[in-house]
Structure 1
Amino acid sequence: MLFHSVVGLHPAVEEAAERLRAAGHRVFTPDLFDGRVPESIEAGTELKDEIGQDEILRRAIAAAAPHSEGGLVYAGFSLGAWLAQTIAMGDEKARGLLLLHGTGEVQDDADVDGLPVQLHVADPDAFEPHDWLTVWYLKMRGAGADVEVFRYRGAGHLYTHRGLPDHDAEAAERTWRVAEDFLRDLD
């Protein structure tokens, strides 16, 4: 289950899904923005606020539910990473969690014994405070997750999204090679 960022079902989401499908994975890419594809992060943030974070989460849960019986790997870009993490943390059958460009909050009583988690983020990331990663990592490890973190110095926030100002082709390619290995190990 691959959730999009605030720029909606941007072509980069389908490119990522096709790459993962070519590697043998079934990939679902729900449209949580009703077909709207904002042209910038700022416009996407306005749309996210218009729809409401609770409604977006409800839509993501509804999109995942029909596919979750056999255990999903949840993945997402930025806002989608928050959605993926939030849902995976509550899904006892989750097989893995692939986070790109962001994370979610980890509750103090979270328990995800042995959940494989891989995070790919810009270093530094303009959308995150400087100490967020250490706090997130320690909380995820405390919840029992098996966490790997990959940081990409100098990349922009949505560096995997070709066509956006943040795009970094080299960092994006490194990300997908590592992520493909992670997903292959979960099969």
Structure 2
Amino acid sequence: MAPILLLHSMYGLRPAVHAAADRLRAAGHDVHVPDLYDGRVVDDPEEGAAIKEEIGRDELLRRAVSAAAPHIGQGLVYAGFSLGGSIAQNLALADGKARGLLLLHGTSDLADDVSTELAVQLHVADPDTYEPVDWLNAWYLRMRRAGADVEVYRYGGAGHLYTDPDLDDYDAEAAERTWAIAEDFLDDL
């Protein structure tokens, strides 16, 4: 199995990210979980956004690239939660050896000239305040046009970060369905 780089959300490297990594490790995956926020963890979205802005998108990408670098030759699977999904998408599309892309609660824009054959799976709340339906539909079409093999799973009534049991968004049923589907996806890469 390909190693997985799992990137945290704007809340930082929370216990839910470690739990997700442990779950994937128990299923036989080699999972790497970098801390892009240097130990800062928050429960409030405004505080998380402030840390993200303070560090800056370019620096977050640089930190993620540095975390990926030791594993690139092995054909990484990039994965991430919300902000981490956005960063994972950018890294995966730039890595010609990437094996797959697992997005949990987040996407990123695509360059017009992007081309990829990646297997991509997105799990997202429906509706999601950070990933509006119009955006997701356009994202899906652009990913398909780029050549990606894309699957999108939407979870009605779930909150944005519905896989984190320590946040108000948590939805146990949606989280369990997400992980069951994601594990099958990762096993097939």
Using the size of structure 1 for normalisation, the TM-score is: 0.97
Are 2:57 and 1:53 equivalent residues in the alignment?
yes
Cα-Cα RMSD: 0.7
Q: Of 100, 125, 129, which aligns to 2:128?
A: 125
Distance 2:9 2:137 in 1: 23
Report the residue type matching 2:99 in the other structure. Answer: R
SS in 2 for 1:160: coil
Cα pair 1:72 1:95 within 8 Å, conserved: yes
| Structure 1 unaligned blocks of 5 or more | none
**TM-superposed deviation, 1:128:** 2.5
Are 2:14 and 1:10 equivalent residues in the alignment?
yes
Distance 1:39 1:151 in 2: 24
Report the residue type matching 1:180 in the other structure. Answer: E
Where in structure 2 are the equivalents of 1:63-142 lying within 5 Å?
A: 63-112=67-116, 114-142=117-145
Distance 2:79 2:62 in 1: 16
**TM-superposed deviation, 1:94:** 0.2
Distance 1:57 1:115 in 2: 20
Are 2:164 and 1:161 equivalent residues in the alignment?
yes
Cα pair 1:61 1:87 within 8 Å, conserved: yes
**TM-superposed deviation, 1:42:** 1.7
| Structure 2 unaligned blocks of 5 or more | none
Identity %: 66
1:20 aligned partner: 24
Report the residue type matching 1:69 in the other structure. Answer: G
Where in structure 2 are the equivalents of 1:169-180 lying within 5 Å?
A: 169-180=172-183
Are 2:51 and 1:40 equivalent residues in the alignment?
no
Runs of 4+ residues deviating >4 angstroms:
none
Report the residue type matching 1:68 in the other structure. Answer: I
Using the size of structure 2 for normalisation, the TM-score is: 0.96
Distance 2:128 2:69 in 1: 31
Question: For each residue in 1:29-69, what CA deviation from the matched residue of structure 2 results, as whole angstroms up to 9, or x when unmatched?
Answer: 00000001112222111110111111111100111011111
Distance 2:159 2:165 in 1: 11
Distance 2:92 2:44 in 1: 27
**TM-superposed deviation, 1:80:** 0.3
**TM-superposed deviation, 1:176:** 0.1
Report the residue type matching 1:46 in the other structure. Answer: A
Cα pair 1:72 1:93 within 8 Å, conserved: yes
Cα pair 1:40 1:164 within 8 Å, conserved: no
